[in-house]
Structures are given as structure tokens and as C-alpha cells.
Structure 1
Amino acid sequence: MELSAPVTGGPCWAELGTTDPESAQRFYTRLFGWRPETDPRPGAGGYTVARLGDAAVAALTPLYEESQPVAWNVSFAVTDAEATLREVAAAGGQTLLGPTEVFDMGRFAVAADPTGAVFQLWQAAAFPGAGVFNAPGSLGWVELLTRAPRQAVSFYTAVFGWSVTASGRYPQWGVGGADFGGMVTMDDRFPHEVPAHWLPYFAVGDVDAAAATATGARGTVLMEPVSHPERPRIAVLRDPQGAMFGVYRATDEA
């Protein structure tokens, strides 16, 4: 990711919704070295911020609704959540959760693009988002997997004003001249029941070691570590509760 801090229109946060927050904390602490801090306030609902040193890097939460899937969710920074949701509707997407005040931290909303991929909006107040990107254990890339790439490009460029850079068969998303993610077209290799989704990638020092650590902690390797000529070494993993995420080698440029 060419971003070093949250910017308007770019990814600013990754948040895991899980059936077993305590087990998830143990898994990711072992994998990434996170230090989890659960918000004790009654209204926080068990919201836990994961830190590297003093920097907030991600969050882990219990599921708040029965229909909510176990999954990692990506948040994009906006200056006006209501205005952005109007743009979402105009571009063919839908609002799943209207803007909600989160203490003095900011405003939060959930939306879905026309291809079915769910994403979150964050209008910052006291909390801008992740305190570090690209360092081992932190968010470093986000990837949209969709069966309708042209529709996705039309939607996200209209809502966020993203640039789309052709990079072989892997288009890359950018904001303000900085690339932060990519897009994969889901084909017959993906099971039909797997919906379009956003996949966060976290930086690690050694992709192969991270895959082995995840397996030892009862996770699963969905895509074995692989290197690409023009991209970093990556792997796709699944935690013990079923949430998918990617890892990439931090010393490579994403």
C-alpha cells in the first residue's frame, strides 16, 4: 500500500466480526503479535482494539446480529457519511446500516456495492483509523473479489473517485495518486456460494512462517504462499472461526 496514514477515500481500518472473540484474540496475537485492548464501557459491546506498540491497527468484535457472517470488514474514510451513502445509492449500491455515532470517535455506516461486496464507512472525529500501515502485523493492502468487475469499477470510481490502474490481469485501486488495493475477478475456481467481498491483507516478515503459524494455531491455508513477478509474496489464510484474510511480505512493496 502506498498510503502511510488514513486519507479520505482510502482504507482506514479493518475489523473482524467473530463468534469467539477470545479465541480470535489468541490466534491473531500469536500470528501478528497484537496486544488486544477491550473497551470496558457498557455501550462498547466488547469492542476490542488490537495494537502494535501504542498504534491501533485493527479491531475484533463479537457478532451483533444472527445474520452477520464471521468475516473481516474493511472501512473507508469519508468526510460525510450521509453524503457518501447518497452516492452509494445513486451508483446502485445499498445502505445496510445508517450512520451511527460511536462515542466521540466518529460515525460508522455499512454499505454494499451492486455486486454484493459489503464495506464500511468511517467519518472520523477523535479516532482517524489505523495508526500504522505496511509494518509487520498491520494492514497493508485491500482486495475486492467480485464476479462483475466492470460494474464494480463504475461503482467505486463514482462513489470514491478512485483511480484504476491496469496491471496485467490485476487492476489496482488508487486515491490521490497512491495505490492501496486491487481487484480479482471471481471465476469458476471460486465456489458459487462465496459472495463478492473485500479481503484485507496484513504485512508479515515471512509469509511462509505466517502460514505455518496459522496452521499451528488451528487456522487454514486457503492459498499457499506464492510469489508474482511484479507483486509481493502472498498467501490467503482462514482463522479458526472461518474469517478469511491475506498476508504479504512486508519488505516487498505492495
Structure 2
Amino acid sequence: MKLDAPVTDGPCWSELGTSDLESAARFYTRLFGWRPERDARQEVGGYTVAHLGDAAVAGLTPLYQPSQPVAWTVSFAVRDADAAAREVTAAGGQVLSGPADVFDMGRFLVAADPGGAVFQLWQAGTFPGAGLSDAPGSLGWVELLTRSPEQAVSFYTTVFGWDVDAGRHYTRWRLGDAEFGGMVTMDDKFPPEVPAHWLPYFATEDVDGTTGAATRAGGDALMVPTTVPDGPRIAVLRDPQGAMFGVYRAGEED
């Protein structure tokens, strides 16, 4: 069983911060068939919501600070952003920005776990998060890559109450019976300059076809299409501006 809608303490949204908003929108539209809609309000700086049909599935934003990297960020739903900020700090993490209101849509903050992986927390107002999950073109899995796995387990189980299934090669995160993500320990194969991070995976009907479309559109395949033993077919890609993300074949993730 997997999460197929936003729930408290689970992933609810994914957001791309990019150096070229228009080019990024074209790239992901080509891959996933997204319909991007740019918010016309000047104060949001061009924030764009990608849709599949009527469902919002992801956000695309300009870089708001010179130090902000081009990257995807994963958001987790919370009941109370201010209380969650205190829990993050008490568990050894850092609050990097917020909590702050986004009109009447909700309240958010940006945080980092003790290993440095950045994520967001979202207290829903009128906007609950992604309207479609675990379907082609939408977010369906989130993966933490970290050099401090034991510290990460302690932090996330304390802050969110996640359950942990620690296998021989891979650790999975659960809320009750529903799996929603995993954890990879970063070893010597990862360059030291690559920080700990959360990696979103989007569902697709054809991993090989999506990988080919990404490379033809100027992206790269960091991990070529691979069938995971007892798991799905996946690939890890990088868009033309440098943001990393994963794809998996819908319906084969369990």
C-alpha cells in the first residue's frame, strides 16, 4: 500500500527552484505532459503550478536568493507549522526560513535535518497539496540520500512519527501500512561536494522513454533505467538547469 493523497506527516508537494523558469516548464511539460500556470501576483515572483488535468501536481519557482541551489524540494504536511518548527529544532535540525503564511493557502517553513538535507513543512489552508499522487506525471515516492542514516532515522521518527522498515540494502519509510519513501546511505561513490538531499520520484508509464526524452531535451541520465530487484524500473535524471529527480514505472513500485 502507498500513499495516494496528502496526509499529515507524509509528503504533500514537490517544488523546483530553478534558474530558468520558462525553460524548466518546457522541459517537464515535455516529459510529463504538465500544464504550467504562472501566478500573476507580483509578490510571488512568478511562482508556477504544474497541473495534470485539473489537479495541481508540482510547483516551479525562481531562485529567491543568490545562494539558493537549483534543486527539487519535498514538502511534508503538518497540522501546525509553528509547533513543527519547534520539534525540528528540538530534534537537532535547523529552521532555515519561516514559518510564514502564503496568502490563505497555508503556512510553511524551510528546514534542514541534522545531516543537512533540506525539506519543507506545509500547514494547509485552502491548498492541501498535490491533487494527484502515484499516477503518471505525479509525485509517487521520496528518497532521502544521507551520510548519517542512524541520525536521520532518529530525527524523522521523532519529528514525524514515521515507521521504518530497514532492509539489507534499502530502508523504507511508512506511515501505518502506507509506504511513501526510502533512504539511501551516501558512500564513496557520491562526490563529497554533493550534499545530503531529498530526491522526488515521479511516476511514468515508460521509464526508458522518459529518460530518452529527458536527454533529447538537454537533460542527463545520472542513473540509466534499471530494474530494482523485487522493485520497479527506475532512473535518476538531471534537468538542463541541474536539478536532480527520479522516475519510476507506475504500478511496479511495490
Distance in 2 (CA, whole Å) between partners of 1:27 and 1:53 is 18
Tell me, yes or no, if structure 1 residue 54 matches structure 2 residue 85.
no
Deviation (angstroms), 1:177? 2.4
State the Cα deviation string for residues 49-72 of structure 1 (Å, max 9, x = none). Answer: 000000000010000000100000
Instruction: Give the corresponding residue for 2:19.
Output: 19
SS in 2 for 1:231: coil
Rounded to whole Å, the distance in 1 between the matches of 2:37 and 2:163 is 36
Per the alignment, residue 166 of structure 1 pairs with: 166
* 1:76 aligns to 2:76 (yes or no): yes
* Partner Cα separation in structure 1 for residue 130 and residue 37 of structure 2: 14
Post-superposition CA distance 1:15-41 (Å, at most 9, x none) = 000000000000000000000000101
Counterpart residue type for residue 54 of structure 1 = D
Moved more, 120-129 or 172-181: 172-181
- C-alpha distance in structure 2 between counterparts of 1:207 and 1:165, whole Å: 26
CA offset at residue 168 of structure 1? 2.7
Q: Distance in 1 between matches of 2:110 and 2:253?
A: 30
Q: Tell me the distance in 2 between the aligned counterparts of 1:228 and 1:65.
A: 38
C-alpha distance in 2, partners of 1:235/1:11?
Answer: 20
Equivalent residue number for residue 190 of structure 1: 190
- Kindly state the Cα deviation for residue 251 of structure 1 after the two structures are TM-superposed: 2.4
Which residue in the other structure is 1:208 paired with? 208
TM-score by length of 1: 0.98
1:165-187 Cα offsets, whole Å, 9 max, x none, are: 12331010011321100000000
Whole-Å separation in 1 of the counterparts to 2:30 and 2:229: 30
Question: Structure 1 CA distance, aligned partners of 2:186 and 2:215?
Answer: 25
Q: Does 1:221 align with 2:215?
A: no
The equivalent of 1:107 in structure 2 is 107
1:86 is displaced (CA, Å) by 0.7
Deviation at 1:245, TM superposition (A): 0.2
**Gapped regions of structure 2 (runs ≥ 5):** none
CA-based RMSD: 0.8
Instruction: After superposing the two structures, state which structure 1 stretch, 118-127 or 41-50, moved more.
Output: 41-50
Please list every run of at least 4 consecutive aligned residues from structure 1 whose deviation after the TM superposition is greater than 4 angstroms: none
Deviation at 1:231, TM superposition (A): 1.3
Aligned position for 1:97:
97
Amino acid of the structure 2 residue aligned with 1:232? P
- Does 2:229 align with 1:237? no
2:8 counterpart residue number? 8
Look up the match of 2:28: 28
Number of residue-to-residue matches in the alignment: 254
**Between the two proteins, what is the percent identity of the paired residues?**
73
Q: CA deviation at 1:9?
A: 0.2
Partner residue in 2 for 1:152 = 152
For residues 176 and 33 of structure 2, the distance between their equivalents in structure 1, rounded to whole angstroms, comes to 31
Moved more, 53-62 or 226-235: 226-235
Aligned equivalents of 1:240, 1:182: Cα separation in 2: 26
